[in-house]
Amino acid sequence: KQWYQRRVRDHTFALLSRDGWQVPAAEIACDTRRVKIHTDQPGIHVYTGNYLDGTAQGKGGKVYGKHAGVALEAQNFPNAVNVKGFPDCILQPDQEYKRNITFSFEYSP
């Protein structure tokens, strides 16, 4: 509850995914734009620029302050290597790593 009250996001959320099946992971809408993310990863990490302090500059010299953006990262669970029951995250030399992430963008004026 504390992270919600402070409007801070730097957490991985569990998804109800299964190998080979993509599930809705996130949807962000703003005015006339919308982005949807589907993935077969077990989690999605949400980070909202908590530590941006106004010193980072982007295109055209635009300054990015605290919470100026959001990053959505489909991934395995943090610390999965140490937690029994979490999805396996170790890739052996003879294994192939293949996951799917689909981004769809919508615009409606």
Read off the pLDDT of residues 8-51 as tens digits, 9 standing for 90 and up: 678 888 887 666 678 889 888 889 999 999 999 999 999 888 88
The per-residue pLDDT for range 92-107, each reduced to its tens digit, is: 999 999 888 999 999 9
Task: Please give the Cα distance from 54 to 64 (Å, whole number).
Answer: 5
pTM: 0.76
Q: Using DSSP, state whether 87 is helix, strand or coil.
A: coil
Task: Please give the Cα distance from 64 to 82 (Å, whole number).
Answer: 35
